[in-house]
């Protein structure tokens, strides 16, 4: 293997990187590459029965369990309030510092089109940090980068102002159990807050083994839909036979604010593609 890649995945909340890129994180790690997840808020509002410092600490503990489960270099949680994130200069400086210190080859982040303001502003902050990470007099006490990293958006289903249009679709069939294991660590979310918010809390089993089975039933369709929606691209990358039988996928769209995600760079940055 050549020098390991540094992959940096941003999400607005503890659990967002797991949903969007938990599969590729496992695939990178299996090949010896380095993956770091960053939650831009501490998640202290994401529950119906608890909040504040108690919830933030609980969710931080969940991220550290994910880091162990996926073999991440780190799962960093920035101490910004959930539901109150704004694309301010101080927050932009935080993101610039994170990017510079990790020196990523590839950054994965949400698009700026989303129902949740924290998701939108996480995207805005990453976009605003792009290029500025190469400017020495910005956040000047942190070593600047000579190369603007490649940035790619993680998949979503929003249609306006324009729909997600992936450049890369990855077969995560071999990583799906690892991805579910990561999500299983987020008890406060996948078994409590998210079912409650969807008015489905009565469906969640009480015992751990049954919960893990329920989790798979609840979310596998979402990851299967991604594969079915981008079947042509799966066949392009994996060939007609394998691409036609992929069940679960994650997808990524190049962002114009970083270095270009060119056809030549895709095999290097996504080394598990054939």
**What does the domain layout of the chain look like in residue ranges?**
6-169+251-269
Provide the 3-class DSSP secondary structure of residue 198.
coil
pLDDT in tens, 62-81: 999 999 999 999 999 999 99
Please compute the mean of the pLDDT values over residues 93-109 and round it to a whole number.
98
The model's confidence at residue 93, banded by pLDDT at 50, 70 and 90, is very high
Average pLDDT over residues 253-266: 96
Q: Could you read off the pLDDT of 23-56 as tens digits, one per residue?
A: 999 999 999 999 999 999 999 999 999 999 999 9
Contacts of 208 (CB under 8 A, 6+ apart): none
Report the alpha-carbon distance of residue 226 to residue 221 in Å, rounded.
9
The rounded mean pLDDT for the chain is 97
- What is the value of pTM for the model shown? 0.97
Q: What are the tokens at 50?
A: 């608890």
Among 238, 69, 63, 244, smallest CA distance to 168 is for 238
Predicted confidence band of residue 1 (pLDDT cuts 50, 70, 90): low
pLDDT in tens, 202-245: 999 999 889 999 999 999 999 999 999 999 999 999 999 999 99
pLDDT for residue 194 is more than 90: yes
At 163, phi and psi to the nearest 5?
Answer: -75, 155
Cβ 125 vs Cβ 98: under 8 Å: no
Structure-token match 């995945």, residue found: 9
CATH superfamily label, 6-169+251-269: LmbE-like (3.40.50.10320)
pLDDT interval class at 133 (50, 70, 90): very high
Categorize the per-residue pLDDT at 2 as very low, low, confident or very high, splitting at 50, 70 and 90. confident
Are 13 and 75 in contact, with CB atoms under 8 Å apart? no
Give the model confidence (pLDDT) of 144-187 as tens digits: 999 999 999 999 999 999 999 999 999 999 999 999 999 999 99
CA distance 103 to 97: 10
State the Cα–Cα distance between residues 38 and 16, nearest whole angstrom.
Answer: 9
Which of 19, 9, 76, 12 has its CA nearest to residue 41?
Answer: 12
At 194, phi and psi to the nearest 5?
Answer: -65, -45
Q: Report helix, strand or coil for 239.
A: coil
User: What whole-number distance in Å separates Cα of residue 124 and Cα of residue 132?
Assistant: 13
Q: What percent of the chain has pLDDT over 70?
A: 100
Listed residue (48, 31, 38, 50) closest to 13, CA to CA: 38
| Cα 243 to Cα 113: distance, rounded to the nearest angstrom | 29
State both tokens at 38: 């960053």
- Name the residue among 13, 154, 173 with its Cα closest to residue 77: 13
pLDDT at position 96: 98
Provide the percentage of residues in the chain whose pLDDT is more than 90.
99
């Amino acid at each position: 293997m050549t020098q390991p890649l540094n992959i940096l995945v941003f999400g607005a909340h503890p659990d967002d990187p797991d949903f969007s890129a938990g599969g590729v994180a496992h695939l990178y790690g299996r090949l010896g590459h380095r993956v770091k997840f960053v939650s831009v808020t501490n998640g202290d509002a994401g529950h119906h029965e608890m909040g504040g410092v108690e919830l933030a600490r609980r969710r931080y503990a969940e991220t550290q369990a994910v880091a162990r489960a996926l073999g991440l270099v780190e799962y960093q949680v920035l101490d910004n309030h959930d539901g109150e994130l704004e694309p301010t200069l101080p927050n932009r400086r935080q993101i610039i510092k994170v990017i510079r210190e990790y020196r990523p080859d590839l950054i994965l982040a949400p698009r700026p089109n989303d129902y949740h303001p924290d998701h939108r502003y996480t995207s805005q902050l990453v976009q605003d940090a792009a290029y500025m990470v190469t400017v020495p007099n910005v956040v000047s006490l942190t070593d600047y980068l000579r190369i603007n990293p490649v940035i790619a958006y993680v998949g979503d289903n929003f249609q306006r102002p324009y729909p997600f249009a992936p450049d890369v679709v990855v077969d995560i069939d071999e990583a799906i159990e690892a991805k579910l294991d990561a999500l299983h660590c987020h008890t406060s979310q996948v078994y409590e807050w998210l079912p409650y918010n969807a008015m489905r809390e009565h469906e969640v089993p009480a015992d751990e083994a049954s919960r893990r089975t329920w989790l798979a039933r609840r979310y596998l369709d979402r990851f299967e839909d991604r594969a079915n929606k981008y079947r042509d691209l799966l066949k392009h990358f994996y060939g007609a036979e394998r691409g036609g039988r992929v069940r679960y996928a994650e997808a990524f769209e190049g962002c114009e604010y970083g270095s270009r995600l060119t056809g030549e760079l895709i095999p290097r940055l996504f080394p598990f593609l054939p």
